[in-house]
Amino acid sequence: MQTALLADVYFGFSCNGAAVEAGAGSMIDCYVTTGYLGDHRFPLVREEAAKLRRQLKENGARRIAAFFDEGSFPDARWGVDARRLQAHYAFLLEKLLGESDFGLVFKPKSPATLWKRLGQVGELLRRAIDTGRCHIYQEGVLQGSAPPAQAALSADLAIHGSLASGTAAVEAALAGVPTVLVDDDGWKMSPLYKLGKGRVVFDDWEALWNTWKENRTNLGAVPGFADWSPILDEIDPFRDGRAAERMGTFLKWMIEGFSAGQSREVVLAQAADRYRRAWGEDKIATVRPTARDAARAVQGIHDEARI
């Protein structure tokens, strides 16, 4: 109940999100499934990704991994702490420095503070960059400005260092890049586990590395390795690069209705009906109708949470 929402309209990329919001106690009149809202970026970043890939290969890389971190916290009780973050980076950097045909692309969530949080591991990163086979996306103030797809599309394998927050991995998989996750949080309630421990989800870096090596040596030796195809329809039922267009169109219909002096109820009903006819009956859902008195509705959500 701590993440319950009170909204007239909510845009989500998966039809399953409506059930998730219902379980959280949310009140949403119109849950609109759009598909992944960042999918329009995929073709826009392919050229830059290919350019980086060529640069890494010119310096000897023959197999390239992209790594996404979700940042770190001062206190390990809140998630990945600096010590665990350093371990993730150290494992990959030591592999790169020891194997002359390995290339790395790092896409940190918070690049501005990464060097400080890496501590002594930062020296490994500097040495790796000097080889010409390692690139780090450092642009961005609070968070990195390059999208995950840009890093993923330059690599043979995308690796995400967290299951508790896996959007970067989702984006990489939707962009068509083989993708795996490292779960050292023990986040076994994640639905991504159904893709298979030892195939897509790993809780040990050495196991991940050896599995990738085995699958490279004998393609298909590990069935389902880094393969998200069984759940891509659940994540995004469209996968057509038009998610933002769908959201924008729905908002346009609402603006037109309000400009014509129509009531909130009529505007929502008409926009929802047009969307259903365009994209399918299952793309619109109601997650408990909202109460018009917002304060009373919020209090009701809190009361339910205490029961």
Fill in the DSSP letter of residue 305. H
Q: Which of 203, 235, 267 is the last residue of a domain?
A: 235
Q: Quote the domain boundaries for residue 288.
A: 6-38+239-306
Distance from C-alpha of 133 to C-alpha of 102, rounded to nearest angstrom: 7
Mind listing the pLDDT tens digit for each residue in 117-159? 899 999 999 999 999 999 999 987 767 789 999 999 999 999 9
Gyration radius (Cα) of the chain, Å: 22
pTM: 0.89
User: Could you give the CA distance from residue 22 to residue 5 in angstroms, rounded to a whole number?
Assistant: 10
Q: Are residues 133 and 257 in the same domain?
A: no
Q: From CA 20, how far away is CA 59, in angstroms rounded?
A: 46
What is the spatial distance between Cα 245 and Cα 231, in angstroms, rounded to a whole number?
Answer: 23
What total number of domains does the chain contain? Answer: 2
pLDDT at 304 over 70: no
Does residue 189 sit in helix, strand or coil?
Answer: coil
Tokens for 228? 């998200």
159 shares a domain with 298: no
Number of Cβ within 10 Å of residue 109's Cβ equals 19
Separation between Cα atoms, residue 281 and residue 57, nearest integer Å = 47
Is residue 193 located within the same domain as residue 95?
yes
85 and 203 part of one domain: yes
pLDDT digits (tens, 9 = 90+) for 166-192: 899 999 999 999 999 999 888 888 889
**Does a structural domain hold residue 1?**
no
**φ, ψ (nearest 5 deg) of residue 233:** -65, -35
Res. 290: pLDDT tops 70: no
**Is 292's pLDDT higher than 80?**
no
On whether residue 117 sits in a domain, the answer given is yes
Which of 235, 258, 282 is where one domain is finished?
235
Report how far apart, in Å, the C-alpha atoms of 172 and of each of 87, 186, 200, 265 are. Answer: 23, 22, 13, 38
Whether the predicted pLDDT of 295 surpasses 50: no
- Interstrand relation of 6-12 and 27-33 (parallel, antiparallel or unpaired): parallel
